[in-house]
Amino acid sequence: MKFTVTEEKIGVVQADCEIVIVIDGNLEHKWIKEKTDLETLDFKGKLDDVAFLPHQHRVYAGVDSLDRDEIRLAVANALKAIKKAKYKTVKIASYVKDCPVTNTKAIVEGAKLGTYSFEKYKSEKNPLTIEELIISLEEYADKKLNLEPAQKSVTEAEIIAEVTNHAKEIVNTPPEDMTPARLSEYALEMAKELEDVTCFVGDENFLEEQNMGAFLAVSRASAHAPRFIHLIYKPDNAQEKFVFVGKGLTYDSGGLSLKPSDYMVSMKADKSGAAAAISILEGAARLKVPFEVHAIIGACENMIGGNAYKPDDVLVAKNGKTIEVRNTDAEGRLVLADCLCYATEQKPDYLVDLATLTGACVVAVGEYTTGVMGHSSPLKHSIMAAATKSGELTGSLPFNRYLKKLLKSNIADISNISSSRYGGAITAALFLDNFVEEEYKEKWIHLDIAGPAYVEKDWGYNQCGATGAGVRMCLYWMKDIAYKSSNHHKKEQ
Ligand code: BES
Ligand code: ZN
Ligand code: ZN
């Protein structure tokens, strides 16, 4: 779908269909032409309400306010409602009065995110027919404003939504087709397409050279060999360094501490952290953020077999710490332990790991919300503020020293599970804390995306399945930091 911004008044723009956003039930707006029809249809014009009038070629979608996430949702709802009508061109007015750039961005994101579908494995495809969405900025003409910021915001929003959809595609792909090797090929191919991006891929030999004993143990029983993936985006004059670490379990059967069947289904999504980190890097490179950005991925499968790692084994991580394995299903933290050690060697200014790490996080904050953990409150606040703008939900989970003690092991430096059943999301993060060197503790954020990364029902403008959780919040966050450190004073990013 192509996006065009124009100063032409919405009434004169030529298109097959029009989307009209109704704000807080106000049916008196000049753009609402079918008030009586809408009342007959009992359309209230509140958030999530949608009414398609096929004869008038108009679709109405309600919002409670012009909050950007409500605009995303209204546009997604409207496009969903008209999909079967097979229009080629659609127009929408951008409600410039509020904030033109923000609204334009939200319209584009809502359209692109909301119309994604995963059809690779369907014999009968149902593609979107809409080729162009025309956004009228008629108040721009009245106020004689420059169209350029709006055009730029369209391109930015397209990139952000597109890379989010790429993450969804990786996650939705079945485990036998998205193996660690295939994921590394994806990263290599992506790097080739992008300016200032390089990609290194390491196999078991590399993991051995790096003393990544924990990562190796998790990978061992799989027929698919592990891959260590390191992507770097390094523009000229890069300011700070962001390192994103992603959990890339292309399948998590639980290992010898095998998952019950019902819990194993959907574990192809255990590579969501990796998909997010790769897509964040793609987004950063395409948006040309003024930072050096790294994506470090531990990709492997957690399987069973004669050579599987076992509960009772003691592993040695890259930093020399010994880990008593008490549950092989707590494997993500083992892979991440080694990846985090490697990540701190890159001397990051910001270190973020993304992982579908614990079911406990889903219990704590619900399936739509990412758990945010770390030692620095300002850092947590800054990423959470960016997440809200991006349309992602977050909740902060607090560390404390009592929870930390629960990871004690009788025979090794640390156990891979807590001795208590409570606070599992936090104890998992506190396990990871052992692999973040002192100097980087205040720079580190852990994002547990176990809930929102993969939800088996439609919600908001997300489809059943993968959502690309973490991608938009991290890209908005980097843009925020770039904006704050730049001396330009633009009103909106
Ligand atoms: N990949 C799972 C976590 C998960 C659960 C992700 C549900 C998405 C949805 C992780 O590897 C795991 O199995 N964690 C265990 C940890 C436990 C053994 C301490 C869990 O959460 O049960
Ligand atoms: Zn597991
Ligand atoms: Zn897992």
Residues near 150 by beta carbon (within 8 Å), at least 6 away in sequence: 5, 94, 100, 101, 104, 135, 137, 140
Residue having the nearest C-alpha atom to atom 22 of ligand 1:
359
Q: Could you give the CA distance from residue 491 to residue 245 in angstroms, rounded to a whole number? A: 32
Token pair listed for 166: 């790429």
Whether 359 is in the pocket of ligand 1, judged by its Cβ within 6 Å, is yes
Residue 492 CB neighbour total at 10 angstroms:
13
Q: Which atom of ligand 1 is nearest to the CA of 252?
A: 1
pLDDT reported for residue 235: 98
Per the annotation, the verdict on 333 as an active-site residue is yes
Q: What is the pLDDT of residue 489?
A: 46
Å from CA of 252 to ligand 1 middle: 9
Angle at 446 between CA 187 and CA 69, to 5 degrees: 80
Residues 466 and 168 sit within 8 Å (Cβ to Cβ): yes
What are the distances in angstroms from CA 226 to CA 9, 126, 170, 203? 56, 35, 17, 6
What are the tokens at 330?
């707590």
Residue 114 Cα to ligand 2 midpoint, Å, equals 30
259 labelled catalytic: yes
Burial class (CB in 10 A: 0-12, 13-18, 19+), 488: exposed
Taking the C-alpha atoms of residue 369 and residue 377, their distance in angstroms, rounded to an integer, is 18
Which residues, at least 6 apart from 20, have a Cβ–Cβ distance to it below 8 Å?
Answer: 31, 32, 58, 59, 60, 61, 92, 93
d(CA 394, CA 392): 7
In this prediction the pTM is 0.97
Specify whether the CB–CB gap between 322 and 412 falls below 8 A.
Answer: yes
Give me the half-sphere count of Cα atoms (radius 13 Å) on the Cβ side of residue 229: 35
Residues in the 5 Å CB sphere of ion ligand 2: 252, 329, 331
Residue identifier of the C-alpha nearest atom 8 of ligand 1: 450
Q: Which helix (H) or strand (E) holds 342?
A: helix 332-345
User: Which phi-psi region, left, alpha or beta, contains residue 246 (left: φ > 0; alpha: ψ -120 to 50)?
Assistant: beta
Q: Is 35 helix (H, G, I), strand (E, B) or coil?
A: helix
Q: Are strands 465-466 and 454-455 parallel, antiparallel or unpaired?
A: antiparallel
The pLDDT value given to residue 31: 82
Phi and psi, residue 373, nearest 5°: -135, 155
Q: Are 407 and 414 in contact (CB under 8 A)?
A: yes
User: 3-class DSSP state for residue 280?
Assistant: helix
Helix (H, G, I), strand (E, B) or coil at 360: helix
- Give the nearest ligand 1 atom to 416 CA: 19
φ and ψ of 394, to 5 deg: -135, 155
For residue 94, what pLDDT is reported?
83
How far apart, in whole angstroms, are the C-alpha atoms of residue 179 and residue 218?
Answer: 15
pLDDT at residue 138 in the model: 80
Q: How far apart are CA 360 and CA 347, in angstroms?
A: 31
Q: What is the pLDDT of residue 149?
A: 87
Mean pLDDT split into 10-residue runs, the chain, 493 residues:
94 96 91 94 96 98 94 97 97 73 92 98 96 89 77 96 99 98 98 98 98 98 98 96 99 98 98 99 98 99 98 98 99 99 98 99 98 98 98 98 98 98 98 98 99 98 98 98 75 49
229, β-bridge pairs: 201, 297
Ligand 1 binding pocket includes 415 (Cβ within 6 Å)? no
CA distance 250 to 88: 38
